[in-house]
Amino acid sequence: MRWGTISNIREVLPDNGTGAIKSSYLADYAWKGNLWTLKITFAEQGSPFYHTVTMIPRIDLEYVTADLESLPAKAQEVLKEKGQWSGVVRVRIDHTGKRTYLTPFYRFDDDGVPFFTGLNNVVNYASMAEISPGIHDYFKHTSGFSELSFSSGTRFDDGSCAGYSLYLANDNEKVSEMFHFIFSGSGYIVTESYTASVKP
């Protein structure tokens, strides 16, 4: 993700109620004609964690909250019914004011409807050969993605959406680069992101 332009760097303060102890940073990132958001998090020297840089669709604000009641009613119902309220949710607000709610196993849209889950009612893929031909061809023929190797994939068993992770191989054991994609049931990209992790 080189050759972009960074601007508007801002700090995201930790939320004491969630146990977070370190700040992270957001920045606007102009890349290939589109405006993205970079999220940068630093690990303590000597810790088992990694410095991470994540590129996601443009957002203006991100915060973490432990208040379940702040989620839309539909999201609250799903988390309570499935017994998956972990005590923390990450909220991202895009430039139009719409929110996305991220929990360890669910992503909810602005209305609280889950558009992806890492939990039940999913089909897991172990290789690129197992995924649908149209999405396989997208990765194979789209510029830059043909160099990626398959890492993992999941799909709702009703075919409503699917998520895939691919990695870029390199010779540096301290650096990993991952690309994450969520597709709708009709084969359109719902969201995509990129994460680079560097061991201190």
Whether 113 and 129 share a structural domain? no
Render 112-179 in DSSP notation, one character per residue.
S-EEEESSSSEEEESSGGGS-HHHHHHHHHSTTGGG-EEEEEEEETTSSEEEEEEEE--S-TTEEEEE
Whether 135 and 46 share a structural domain? no
For residue 16, what is the DSSP state?
Answer: G
Final residue of a domain: which of 117, 150, 167? 117
Domain count, the chain: 2
| Domain span including residue 86 | 5-117
Contact 107, 99 (CB under 8 A): no
**HEC letters along 60-110:** CEEEEECCHHHCCHHHHHHHHHHCCCCCCEEEEECCCCCEEEECCCEEECC
Whether 149 and 81 share a structural domain? no
Whether 177 and 161 share a structural domain? yes
Whether 126 and 162 share a structural domain? yes
Q: What is the pLDDT of residues 3-36, one digit of tens each?
A: 788 898 888 766 554 444 566 888 899 887 788 8
Whether 73 and 56 share a structural domain? yes
Q: What is the pLDDT of residues 59-77, one digit of tens each?
A: 888 888 888 999 999 999 9
What is the predicted pLDDT for the residue at 75? 92
| pLDDT band at 99; cut points 50, 70, 90 | very high
Whether 58 and 101 share a structural domain? yes
Final residue of a domain: which of 89, 117, 145? 117
Final residue of a domain: which of 56, 90, 117? 117
pTM, 2 dp: 0.64
Whether 153 and 109 share a structural domain? no
